[in-house]
Copies of this chain bind each other. A is one copy, B any other.
Amino acid sequence: MSSAFDEKLKEFKEYVSKIEYLNSAISVLYWDMRVGMPKKGINFRSDVLGYLSTEAYRMQTSDAVKEFVTYFEGAQDLDKVTSSMVEKIKREYDKNKKIPEDRFKEYVILTSQAEDKWTQAKNEKNFEIFKPYLEKIVEMNKEFLNYWGYEGNKYNTLLDFYEMGMTVEKLDKVFGELKDAIIEILDKIKASNYTPDDSFFKGDYSKESQEELGREALKAIGYDFDAGRLDETMHPFTIEFCNRDVRITTKYHEDDLRPSLFSCIHEGGHAIYEQNIPDELNGTTLGTGVSMGIHESQSRFYENIIGRSKEFWKYFYSKLIKIYPQFENVSLEDFYKGINIVKPSLIRVDADELTYSLHIIIRYEIEKMLINDEIKVEDLPMVWKEKYKEYLNVEPKDDSQGVLQDIHWAGGSFGYFPSYALGNLYGAQFFNKMKQNIKDIDEKIEKGELSVVKEWLSENIHKHGSVYKPSEILKMATGEELTAKYFIEYLKEKYSKIYNF
């Protein structure tokens, strides 16, 4: 490469670094706002965040970016990091700049109002309050799709924002298989007439003791507390300021230890991903998890495949008993069944491992229909009820338990939900390969040697950051394309043992 090229690349990376610095600052301010800001600080903090976000947006959509992209797109023989960097920056630029500026601004204001209205509607259990806003959001998304363009199904473009390369064609296949399999397993569970006991979980668990348990679990799976911290918040999340400062938050329910424990392990999965992306990718925009789906594959893998496995609890149960001696009277077997109890329910975030994906598939089917004009926004409460009845055999009493339960649509995030279920599929595919690579993995997990798990994930997934597409990472790590096969096998094996069918 010429020295002019090197100079330009240096300039480009410096420019991109500044956007990263701004985004890191925004994240710190956001974290602080959620975790510890005194309540009177909110107005000024919103102004500061508004200013910094506008600056970051301005930098991401500037003519300078257009120039860089034009320069590097035309360049020969780019190394992989640079070409991925250019591609990612271009995607972001196009997503924003293809929309006329006044329409884009209108949309930002609309979604911000819609989030308020959603909150009100949810509190008042009344979809009508939210409906006109959601209608407008859906309309504008359809309008934007004309600017963005699409191949095949219109919904593909929205999917692609969160999971590059994902299509309706691929999802219809894997989600269709998964849906049938889960419903079949659910039927067998029902027929088994068996329900594990989980009454022993009810108790009085102080925040302090739960925090101690969460920390133990995070240490066990390999979360690095020198590059992160654990705090309490209303709605648990993970946030990274850089790969060496990735923070977890959780919420404690004082009558049950499970929500915060598994939320810690889930967020720990996200955080371990970010913590193990190499320093070299700083300043390239690629030093972060590649997609929502791959991210969820890490969190749901740790939460369920590891965190709800018998192997892990053979190691970890004594640590739990040390903090909560009352579990000395509960056998490991009963405990294991208790954390894997299956109960079809109305609320996605409270769903068990087995039925969780059905919640997602319902949302996927609905979004696809909405975007393709097969249903109207006004039909949503009814369609929602029908699908929940059909797939899960439960019926919401009101909209707050139904179509209003998630905030995503108020923010215009169509195409996001599938990531959660994709995470389950990816995770099982990774685990299948991991077991082939590490023959005695079960014994290792039972001994608490979870570093082998983290190392496999780091070597096959984390280290790539966002350099490769999700499908490329999957292929490189497992040698296969996306399939529902391994997750279905895993579910069948696990739940047939627990429910004896």
Task: Please report A residues at the B interface, Cβ cutoff 8 Å.
Answer: 17-18, 21-22, 24-25, 28-29, 32, 36-41, 43-45, 47-48, 51-52, 224-229, 241-242, 244-245, 247, 282
Our pick among B18, B43, B51 for the contact of A244 (Cβ within 8 Å) is B43
Task: Kindly provide the distance from the CB of A111 to the nearest chain B CB, expressed in whole angstroms.
Answer: 23
Task: Give the docked Cα–Cα distance between A41 and B244 (Å).
Answer: 5
A228 touches B21 (CB 8 A): no
Our pick among B21, B229, B282 for the contact of A52 (Cβ within 8 Å) is B21
A245 closest partner in B (C-beta): B41
Task: Kindly provide the distance from the CB of A16 to the nearest chain B CB, expressed in whole angstroms.
Answer: 12
A21 touches B41 (CB 8 A): no
B18 touches A51 (CB 8 A): yes
A244 closest partner in B (C-beta): B40
Q: How many copies does the complex hold?
A: 2
Task: Give the docked Cα–Cα distance between A37 and B242 (Å).
Answer: 12
Task: Give the docked Cα–Cα distance between A29 and B43 (Å).
Answer: 18
A25 touches B38 (CB 8 A): no
A224 touches B21 (CB 8 A): no
A41 touches B242 (CB 8 A): yes
Q: What residues on B are CB-neighbors of A38 within 8 Å?
A: 225-229, 244-245, 247
Q: What residues on B are CB-neighbors of A245 within 8 Å?
A: 37-38, 40-41, 44-45
Q: What residues on B are CB-neighbors of A45 within 8 Å?
A: 241-242, 245
A24 touches B40 (CB 8 A): no
Task: Kindly provide the distance from the CB of A270 to the nearest chain B CB, expressed in whole angstroms.
Answer: 16
Q: What residues on B are CB-neighbors of A39 within 8 Å?
A: 226
Our pick among B37, B51, B242 for the contact of A21 (Cβ within 8 Å) is B51
Our pick among B37, B43, B48 for the contact of A25 (Cβ within 8 Å) is B48
Q: What residues on B are CB-neighbors of A242 within 8 Å?
A: 41, 44-45
Task: Give the docked Cα–Cα distance between A426 and B28 (Å).
Answer: 38
Task: Give the docked Cα–Cα distance between A242 and B40 (Å).
Answer: 10
Q: What residues on B are CB-neighbors of A44 within 8 Å?
A: 24, 241-242, 244-245, 282
**A to B CB contacts below 8 Å, 25 in the list:** A17-B47, A21-B47, A21-B51, A24-B44, A24-B48, A25-B29, A25-B48, A28-B29, A28-B32, A32-B32, A37-B245, A38-B225, A38-B244, A38-B245, A38-B247, A40-B224, A40-B227, A40-B244, A41-B227, A41-B241, A44-B242, A44-B244, A44-B245, A45-B242, A48-B241
Known: A44-B282, A51-B18. A229 touches B25 (CB 8 A): no
Task: Kindly provide the distance from the CB of A264 to the nearest chain B CB, expressed in whole angstroms.
Answer: 16
Task: Give the docked Cα–Cα distance between A45 and B37 (Å).
Answer: 20
A43 closest partner in B (C-beta): B244
Q: What residues on B are CB-neighbors of A244 within 8 Å?
A: 38, 40-41, 43-44
Task: Give the docked Cα–Cα distance between A48 and B242 (Å).
Answer: 10
Task: Give the docked Cα–Cα distance between A244 and B45 (Å).
Answer: 10
Task: Give the docked Cα–Cα distance between A244 and B39 (Å).
Answer: 9
Q: What residues on B are CB-neighbors of A24 within 8 Å?
A: 44, 48
Residue among A36, A40, A241 with max Cβ neighbours from chain B (10 Å): A40
Task: Kindly provide the distance from the CB of A220 to the nearest chain B CB, expressed in whole angstroms.
Answer: 18
Q: What residues on B are CB-neighbors of A227 within 8 Å?
A: 38, 40-41
Q: What residues on B are CB-neighbors of A18 within 8 Å?
A: 51
Known: A32-B32, A36-B229, A229-B36. A25 touches B52 (CB 8 A): yes
Residue among A43, A242, A245 with max Cβ neighbours from chain B (10 Å): A245
A243 closest partner in B (C-beta): B44
A231 closest partner in B (C-beta): B36
Task: Give the docked Cα–Cα distance between A44 and B25 (Å).
Answer: 11
Q: Closest 7 interchain pairs by CB?
A: A41-B245, A44-B242, A40-B244, A40-B227, A21-B51, A21-B48, A24-B48
Task: Kindly provide the distance from the CB of A314 to the nearest chain B CB, expressed in whole angstroms.
Answer: 31
Task: Give the docked Cα–Cα distance between A247 and B47 (Å).
Answer: 19
Task: Give the docked Cα–Cα distance between A246 and B281 (Å).
Answer: 36
